Structure 1
Amino acid sequence: MLLPTACTAGVGARDAASWFESEPAGLTTAGVPQRSKILAANGDTIATFFYQNRVDVPLGKIAPIVRQAVLAIEDNRFYEHGAIDLQGTLRALGSNLSNGQVTQGGSGITQQYVKNLLLTQADSDAERAEAKEVTPARKIRELRYAVALEKRLSKDEILRRYLNIAYYGDGAYGIEAAARHYFSKHASELDLTEAALLAGVIRYPYAYDPTRHPGDARKRRDTVLDRMAQLGWLDPAKAASAKEQPIKLDVDNVHSGCVSSKAPFFCDYVQREILTNPVFGKTAKDREKLLKRGGLTIRTTLDRRAQKAAQRAVDKHVPPKNSAHKAAAEAMVEPGTGEIKAMVVDRDLGPDKERGKTWINFAADAGHGSSIGMQAGSTFKAFTLAAALDEGLPFGTRLMAPREYTPVGYRNCDGDRVGDPGASLRNAADGEGGKQFSIVTGTQHSVNTFFLALEKKVGLCDTVRMAERLGMKQANGKPLEEYPAFTLGFNPVSPLRLAAAYAAFGARGKYCKPLAIKEIRDVSGHKLKVPGRDCEQAIDEGVADAVSYVLSGVLTKGTARGMGLGRDAAGKTGTVDNFSAAWFAGYTPDLASAVWVGDPRGGYKHPMESLCMDGRCYGAVFGATIPAPIWKQSMLGALSGTPASSFDRPPSHYFSKGSGEDRAKVPDVRGMELGDAVAKLRGAGFKTRVGKPVESRKYDEGTVAGQSPGSAEPGATITLHVSKGGRDEPGGGPGDGDPRPPVPPVTIPPLPGGRQQAPA
């Protein structure tokens, strides 16, 4: 009956039969959409992506009662007939053709699987329309495919694929996704009434959707139960009892994409990485298809503890719907690996027109979040500092820092003079001037004019090259602009790049590009190619150690005093011109972070000069005002339970001109017992050594009679001379040439705690 429809004039019945029995060219069972999931480092799911919400499972993980219910209502002779159930198919085909529409369903499981397969494999509207059209040609094509599949696959495998491809309404594709969606359980856990309900939905998923049409869904469920009893597959009394039960749903909605994720901006970063990186597909369409249809398991670098700590800190200090309309963002990077451990914005991912939401990822570059970046302020001084130390300048190098500085004589990396003559720059925001500073104190106080002078001494190009070696570029992807104010941070950058650069200091000069994806496996468990770790020794270890030594002082004596973590840590504040934005970037050997606070509407138009936010007024906002407390809180939370690591001591040549600290008056310990004198000097931050004893009539024998120098940098060594006593005759004393009795060896008393001071 079918052959005349399939054949054209002149084709014999034997040739037509041969054509029908042959396997169709291009027949494939691949391409069924599977949902992909993004996992945190610990395996927690942070987002799912799909065109169709489907989770493929083996037949063994589908409850037998489900299989019985589906076969009863859809194709009870499935295991008895071949690819075509002639009785059912001919009846349905004749009715549908005579009516011009589908009025009866007579297709077997294999044919229904083929129909669903062709529909899900369709990539265009035309292909989808072709898969749905009601024509003899379409029906014959499905029958021919069904014959081929019955030769290729077992009955159990065809049934498994059918249960996994069928649509069960309300966005649930496949039996596992349907079980999770309607009942919050796995397909292997479904009971009789639940199985009958889902089996009944398959015929008309929209009409029998239990969330929208519970009455019709129940009637259809009862029809399935009656059919199972009629076939003898279910005891009639049990069927009647099951029909008395109401429909009980426990709906679990799974959303596609990052909007509902607990780490939305990190999720968005990962999504954009896959959609834009050619390693995941030649075209944008290929990459989107891979993500939303490929059933990928994407394991990332996200640390849930760090993410939660950063989000809490940002939201506490800059609430998502704050009265001042300010925003904050933070990125955390692991030194030595480049792994992104956290990425937060103080808003939800969503339309900007809704208060407290934004599509822009302020923590990332334009390519991964649409942000054009923000001026980084004095956090860029770290690159000038690194360039100076890379050229061997010791900590005690001192330069005059005038109250105003007019840049003259700067050259960019092309050798051209830039900013000449430039407008006078002054010490607004973080620092002060009008005197000499060392590399250490100039950094601690963030003195603008000092760093302009240091940049000129080092060379503008060398400073720029240092920043580039540490991965810095503008957030729009363009190279850094080169002008004298480079060290003051006029280039717009992202917190992520800044955090990665500072992470290199914590890793003793090893810079690693930010990395979010550790591994991707496809639906079959095979590993896919992903961008690998990209690290290099950007600066010498000793240079990085010296940077950490200087920046540590920012947290103890400088602009971020009091923001220490109780472990080795270093950082730098940043305040942008006119208080248009504020930053803090800091690190330990284990974790680095950069925090930005500003106004998405435009920092210069809406400065933070007299900021009041949610009932709290700050006045002018510096890097230490809001960003540094965010950094401290988030770092403490992220590092909780992590053993503290220490910075390495810088090479000795950096101390050739002293520690770089300001000189301080040395306490006068003359006349004190040696042990007491040593304890007092050490308490004041100085080291001690014992020199040669001296004669003295003024100070008793055994006490300190002399010390030098009288003023020194903190940490300097003070030499003490112990009195040997002196003659009572007038004029007697040290150096008078009179004979003296032998002096016994000096006994040095123990220090508090029983420790013995050894003479140097």
Structure 2
Amino acid sequence: MPAGAEGDPGNRAARGGVPAPPRRRVFTSSTTRAEKARALRGLGALGGLAGVLVALMLLPTACTAGVGARDTARWFDSEPVDMTTSGVPQRSTILAADGSKIATFFYQNRVDVPLDKIAPVARQAVLAIEDSRFYEHGAIDMQGTLRAFASNLSSGQVTQGGSGITQQYVKNLLLTQADNDEERAAAKEVTAARKIRELRYAVAVEEKFSKDEILRRYLNIAYYGDGAYGIEAAARHYFSKRASKLDLAEAALLAGVIRYPYAYDPIRHPGEARQRRDTVLDRMAELGWIDRGKVDEAKSRPIELDVDNVRSGCVTARAAFFCDYVQREILTNRVFGETAKEREKLLKRGGLTIRTTMDPRAQKAAQRAVDQHVPPKNSAHKAAAEAMVEPGTGEIKAMVVDRELGPDKERGKTWINFAADAAHGSSIGMQAGSTFKAFTLAAALDEGMPFGTRLMAPRAFTPVGFRDCRGDRVGDPGASLRNAADGEGGKEFSLVTGTHHSVNTFFLALEKEVGLCDTVKMAERLGMKQANGKPLEQYPAFTLGFNPVSPLRLAAAYAAFGARGRYCEPLAIKEIKDASGHRLKVPGRHCEQVIDEGVADAVNYVLQGVLTKGTARGMGIGRPAAGKTGTVDNFSAAWFAGYTPDLAAAVWVGDPRGGYRYPMDSLCMDGTCYGSVFGATIPAPIWQQSMSGALLGTAATPFQRPPSHYFSKGSGEDRAKVPDVRGMKLREAVARLRAAGFTTNVGAPVESRRYDKGTVAEMSPGPGSAEPGTTITLRVSEGSDEPGDGPGPGDSPTLPPPATVPPRPGGPGEQAPA
């Protein structure tokens, strides 16, 4: 900035009419040694080379080492080869996709700003109290140095240094660049060696940078107390405003803090801080830089703070577990540094701006839904987690846990991110239950099986004839795998109806038909692996979801169905810029077409029915959507994974203390009792609420119709003729309907003039066609009050054995075998 420019602390306007002091010349690398020597002489009236003067000041130390004053001056005049002016810690900020702040990370809370972003009055205040002749002297203030010289000669050691702003900057620079306790101790020790090094560096700094640049660097590196480093962070911390907006009183207060940050801390010691502020104001008036009237007005004002406490890390972040995921990605990925120390230094000192994929609306909707259904401090000690992923990009739009991020010993807190895997949240994962049946379905469709393919679902399934991908036989022939309810076994299902009802033995039979290895490979193609990072284990019960996985991985896999077979690795970081605005390398987007579009369309066709007529019927979101419930063995956990072409999500509900030890088979939570918890009991409503909120106001995208060959055996929702059993005795009617493949239920009796008392008067659904397995509700006639109509008084129907009652939503077929 040229002398006299607006904002220059030395210009006439800024000094209230006082002429600007002479400006020192800025030297470049082409400056001759003679010019440097002339500059080091400083004020000619003082005489003598600055280096010699410093050497004399430090003569007691030099003599002790056997070094002469002239040799000391020549060494001092040479440029230090180990000097670096980089590496000042700056805070990093994590941003959501819309640019809003999620969290900050810092070793020192600092925001580096250019000089023109610092109020001129703030620059004047610091110069007035710290180094009013800064623009008049070189690296060494001769007047201050002479005072120190006299003191040092009399004491025989360095007791005063006459430090100006340049020397203070060097001292702060060495301290902030220290990487360990030994280096920090060396930067603060009170010795002649340290003072020599600081003075030598100061000379080099003055030769390298302009006065304005040195002042800028000093204002950005100085400590202003209470964790605020640099004037921008201090202005935001104490006054909740930018440094460019500081007024006279505020500027003087901050300038006064620099000398003794703790003693003049305005939060802890407001009285001392005010006295120090007034001292700065008086000095500004004494120098003629500020009108006395303005100074007196500023001194009359009490200290008025508007404190903004910025905390480092994810604990207080608005999306704590997503923040934690991003932090771990940076700390563990070699893209950000070869060693863990380098990566941590980059995050906490690099001044990064990290733009992420998080959608605040989706995040808020998911957090609200999870907390509403499974409160953080619920009486049953249960937990819930959800991850949302965008199909076709893999971008993580939301990641929530129904706890606060913090020590597990405090109720309602946990350090474990149940939505992520071990590498990104310390979770070893949870068994996924029947959500894994979607991979068996996809494998069957990938092999060309039509929707109408029907397989027998026995009441119990003995796993024989299974081989893993190594060709080894797996399975225990002595063990039988069963359904969750007897009513689901002993009949045939199609790919469609078997999926809608989530029949365990049907999927075991389908897995055997497709091949265990092909089923496993399908899951792997869709990105599935155990939460600990190991490959999926291969046993016959694979399709029932015994592998422990994370909600994030499951959401990403289901997102591939929504993206018509395009799988993308979960992605949290979109862009990172350093403090200078340069883009850094980040993990790339990895997407691949892992299954044919037509196969994905067929999966979507089947899974849509889960929400309309299957285990999660009634859980739709008012737009095309598909999904799958999952209930884990012995009700130890429950899941729901669902998606649209625009967004996918997976929800887990369970007990962090151990699902088998604390199952959800008779769950009462905060006054609400659920009985046995299935995938449709709690997880599906969480998914429904969060997806509705996340997609609110967005246009619905439809699924594509599957290829016609999948309909070669019909829609899969095969319909059989429903016999007309009206007028039959109840026992005869039940037997007839069961023989036709339907289940029955007996409703309340009805009056009827048409049908005799004790016979079937109504059936719902009525005669016609229906899907096999449909429950037909029968109502028996009570006859009519009119005389001569129907059976005589006292006649009563003979009732059959108790009818089979259809499963409740989310019930039979989901539970994995013990």
Question: TM over 0.5: same fold?
Answer: yes
Aligned partner letter, 1:461:
C
Secondary structure in structure 1 of the residue aligned to 2:668:
strand
Aligned partner letter, 1:432:
E
The superposition leaves residues 279-310 of structure 1 with CA deviations (integer Å, 9 ceiling, x where unpaired) of: 10000000000000000000000000000000
Secondary structure in structure 1 of the residue aligned to 2:397:
strand
Q: Over aligned residue pairs, what C-alpha RMSD do you find?
A: 1.9
Secondary structure in structure 2 of the residue aligned to 1:560:
coil
Aligned counterparts, 1:152-551, within 5 A: 152-428=208-484, 432-551=488-607
Q: Which residue of the partner structure matches residue 748 of structure 1?
A: none
| In structure 2, distance between residues paired with 1:245 and 1:297 | 38
| Seq. identity, % | 86
**Do 1:6 and 1:140's aligned partners in 2 also have CA atoms closer than 8 Å?**
no
Secondary structure in structure 2 of the residue aligned to 1:564:
coil
Secondary structure in structure 1 of the residue aligned to 2:400:
strand
**Do 1:443 and 1:551's aligned partners in 2 also have CA atoms closer than 8 Å?**
yes
Q: How far did 1:66 drift?
A: 0.5
In structure 1, stretches of 5+ residues that fail to align are 669-708, 715-760
Q: Which residue of the partner structure matches residue 734 of structure 2?
A: none
Q: Which residue of the partner structure matches residue 83 of structure 1?
A: 139
Alpha carbons of structure 1 residues 124 and 365: separation in structure 2 relative to 1, 3 Å: same
| In structure 2, distance between residues paired with 1:638 and 1:664 | 41
Does residue 643 of structure 1 match 2:678?
no
| In structure 2, distance between residues paired with 1:42 and 1:231 | 48
Aligned counterparts, 1:719-734, within 5 A: none
| In structure 1, distance between residues paired with 2:661 and 2:183 | 52
| In structure 1, distance between residues paired with 2:466 and 2:473 | 6
Q: How far did 1:425 drift?
A: 1.0
| In structure 2, distance between residues paired with 1:173 and 1:94 | 34
Secondary structure in structure 1 of the residue aligned to 2:693:
helix
Aligned partner letter, 1:37:
T
Which of 560, 564, 578 is equivalent to 2:620? 564
Q: How far did 1:586 drift?
A: 0.4
Does residue 67 of structure 1 match 2:148?
no
Q: How far did 1:711 drift?
A: 4.6
| In structure 1, distance between residues paired with 2:153 and 2:663 | 72
Aligned counterparts, 1:555-704, within 5 A: 555-665=611-721
In structure 2, stretches of 5+ residues that fail to align are 1-52, 725-766, 773-818
| In structure 2, distance between residues paired with 1:98 and 1:352 | 62
Alpha carbons of structure 1 residues 98 and 401: separation in structure 2 relative to 1, 3 Å: farther
Q: How far did 1:102 drift?
A: 9.5
Which structure 1 residue ranges, 4+ long, deviate > 6 Å from structure 2? 96-105
Aligned length: 674
**Do 2:452 and 2:718's aligned partners in 1 also have CA atoms closer than 8 Å?**
no
Alpha carbons of structure 1 residues 308 and 102: separation in structure 2 relative to 1, 3 Å: farther
Alpha carbons of structure 1 residues 150 and 178: separation in structure 2 relative to 1, 3 Å: same
Aligned partner letter, 2:452:
G
Secondary structure in structure 2 of the residue aligned to 1:2:
helix
| In structure 2, distance between residues paired with 1:607 and 1:507 | 35
| In structure 2, distance between residues paired with 1:561 and 1:101 | 86
Q: How far did 1:22 drift?
A: 1.5
**Do 1:431 and 1:446's aligned partners in 2 also have CA atoms closer than 8 Å?**
no
Aligned partner letter, 2:467:
R
| In structure 2, distance between residues paired with 1:607 and 1:345 | 19
**Do 1:34 and 1:293's aligned partners in 2 also have CA atoms closer than 8 Å?**
yes
Q: Which residue of the partner structure matches residue 754 of structure 2?
A: none
| In structure 1, distance between residues paired with 2:197 and 2:410 | 50
**Do 1:307 and 1:342's aligned partners in 2 also have CA atoms closer than 8 Å?**
yes
| In structure 2, distance between residues paired with 1:108 and 1:471 | 61
| In structure 1, distance between residues paired with 2:157 and 2:659 | 63
Aligned partner letter, 2:617:
R
Alpha carbons of structure 1 residues 615 and 9: separation in structure 2 relative to 1, 3 Å: closer
The superposition leaves residues 551-606 of structure 1 with CA deviations (integer Å, 9 ceiling, x where unpaired) of: 00000000000011111100000000110000000000000000000000000000
The superposition leaves residues 185-221 of structure 1 with CA deviations (integer Å, 9 ceiling, x where unpaired) of: 0001001110000000000001000000001101111
| In structure 1, distance between residues paired with 2:487 and 2:283 | 84
| In structure 2, distance between residues paired with 1:29 and 1:226 | 34
Secondary structure in structure 2 of the residue aligned to 1:65:
helix
Q: Which residue of the partner structure matches residue 2 of structure 1?
A: 54
Q: How far did 1:638 drift?
A: 0.4
Q: How far did 1:650 drift?
A: 0.5
Q: How far did 1:88 drift?
A: 1.3
Alpha carbons of structure 1 residues 712 and 212: separation in structure 2 relative to 1, 3 Å: closer
Q: Which residue of the partner structure matches residue 89 of structure 2?
A: 33
Give me the TM-score of the superposition, normalised by structure 2: 0.80
Secondary structure in structure 2 of the residue aligned to 1:316:
helix
**Do 1:658 and 1:713's aligned partners in 2 also have CA atoms closer than 8 Å?**
no
**Do 1:431 and 1:445's aligned partners in 2 also have CA atoms closer than 8 Å?**
no
Aligned partner letter, 2:464:
V
| In structure 1, distance between residues paired with 2:416 and 2:488 | 36
Alpha carbons of structure 1 residues 429 and 262: separation in structure 2 relative to 1, 3 Å: farther
| In structure 2, distance between residues paired with 1:451 and 1:250 | 63
Aligned partner letter, 1:79:
Y
Q: How far did 1:238 drift?
A: 2.3
Q: How far did 1:351 drift?
A: 0.5
Secondary structure in structure 1 of the residue aligned to 2:376:
coil
Q: How far did 1:101 drift?
A: 10
Secondary structure in structure 2 of the residue aligned to 1:421:
coil
**Do 2:157 and 2:192's aligned partners in 1 also have CA atoms closer than 8 Å?**
no
Aligned partner letter, 1:211:
I
Q: How far did 1:384 drift?
A: 0.3
**Do 1:101 and 1:134's aligned partners in 2 also have CA atoms closer than 8 Å?**
no
| In structure 2, distance between residues paired with 1:215 and 1:11 | 49
Q: Which moved more, 1:230-239 or 1:381-390?
A: 230-239
Alpha carbons of structure 1 residues 91 and 417: separation in structure 2 relative to 1, 3 Å: same
**Do 2:248 and 2:298's aligned partners in 1 also have CA atoms closer than 8 Å?**
yes
The superposition leaves residues 322-370 of structure 1 with CA deviations (integer Å, 9 ceiling, x where unpaired) of: 0000000000000000000000000000000001100000000000000
Alpha carbons of structure 1 residues 18 and 40: separation in structure 2 relative to 1, 3 Å: same
Secondary structure in structure 2 of the residue aligned to 1:389:
helix
The superposition leaves residues 484-519 of structure 1 with CA deviations (integer Å, 9 ceiling, x where unpaired) of: 000000000000000000000000000000000000
| In structure 1, distance between residues paired with 2:212 and 2:64 | 36
**Do 1:326 and 1:597's aligned partners in 2 also have CA atoms closer than 8 Å?**
yes
| In structure 2, distance between residues paired with 1:96 and 1:258 | 50
The superposition leaves residues 598-628 of structure 1 with CA deviations (integer Å, 9 ceiling, x where unpaired) of: 0000000000001000110000000000000
Q: Which moved more, 1:417-426 or 1:211-220?
A: 417-426
**Do 1:378 and 1:489's aligned partners in 2 also have CA atoms closer than 8 Å?**
yes
**Do 2:108 and 2:228's aligned partners in 1 also have CA atoms closer than 8 Å?**
yes
Alpha carbons of structure 1 residues 35 and 431: separation in structure 2 relative to 1, 3 Å: farther
Alpha carbons of structure 1 residues 286 and 418: separation in structure 2 relative to 1, 3 Å: same
Aligned partner letter, 1:2:
V
Secondary structure in structure 1 of the residue aligned to 2:474:
coil
Aligned partner letter, 2:129:
I
**Do 2:376 and 2:383's aligned partners in 1 also have CA atoms closer than 8 Å?**
yes
